[in-house]
């Protein structure tokens, strides 16, 4: 599904984020920036050791924060590492909103034109995917309505179930 928001494209895809050809892809990171399993593990495998080396130099960031590294061997030139919340740690909705917003701001600060997001925190961090869709889409739409150089934001979702949840939420958001 593809929609236009103030001359910017917002697109949902059922696909592998490591195969996205956007300027940057977003890694659902932990606060120590250690690329372990899930999205981070796939990025590490396909992107090569340079990404983890740069993460090690940065050292970490706060929950809700985002940092940028090279894309290594990925099709994307950069990886933005956004630290989403773990369920049960408190204030999770605000932290997920901040992780999304800080990723978008970092893309703009680096003059990027396109970015791909996964459903942050919905894997081993246990965040409910429906809440994730609502928060991430609402935050992204609001951001695209402001001053930004971003031309395209993609949500690369893993599997039809995730895609459908995001699709239904996006339909609700744009009908408001």
pLDDT per residue as tens digits for the range 56-74: 999 999 999 999 999 999 9
What are φ and ψ of residue 82, in 5° steps?
-105, 130
Q: In the prediction, which pLDDT does 176 show?
A: 79
Min mean pLDDT across 36-45, 79-88, 122-131, 150-159 is at 36-45
SS3 per residue for 127-170: CCHHHHHHHHHHHHHHHHCCCCCCCEEEEEECCHHHHHHHHHHH
- Report residue 146 as tokens: 């402001």
> What would the pLDDT profile of 102-140 be if each residue is shown by its tens digit?
999 999 999 999 999 999 999 889 999 999 999 999 999
Write out pLDDT tens, residues 72-106.
Answer: 999 999 999 999 999 999 999 999 999 999 999 99
* Residue ranges of domains in the chain, CATH in brackets: 2-174 (3.40.220.10)
């Amino acid at each position: 599904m593809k929609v236009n928001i103030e001359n910017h494209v917002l697109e949902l895809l059922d696909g592998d984020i490591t195969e996205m050809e956007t300027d940057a892809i977003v890694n659902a990171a932990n606060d120590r920036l250690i690329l372990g399993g899930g999205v981070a593990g796939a990025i590490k495998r396909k992107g090569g050791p340079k990404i983890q080396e740069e993460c090690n130099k940065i050292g970490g960031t706060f929950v809700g924060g985002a940092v940028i590294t090279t894309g290594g061997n990925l099709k994307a030139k950069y990886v933005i590492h956004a630290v989403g919340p773990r369920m049960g740690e408190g204030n999770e909705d605000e932290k997920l909103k901040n992780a999304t917003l800080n990723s978008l701001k970092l893309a703009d600060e680096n003059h990027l034109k396109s970015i791909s997001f996964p459903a942050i925190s919905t894997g081993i961090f246990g965040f409910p995917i429906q809440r994730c869709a609502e928060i991430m889409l609402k935050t992204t739409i609001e951001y695209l309505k402001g001053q930004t150089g971003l031309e395209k934001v993609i949500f690369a979702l893993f599997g039809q179930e995730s895609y459908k949840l995001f699709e239904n939420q996006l339909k609700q958001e744009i009908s408001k």
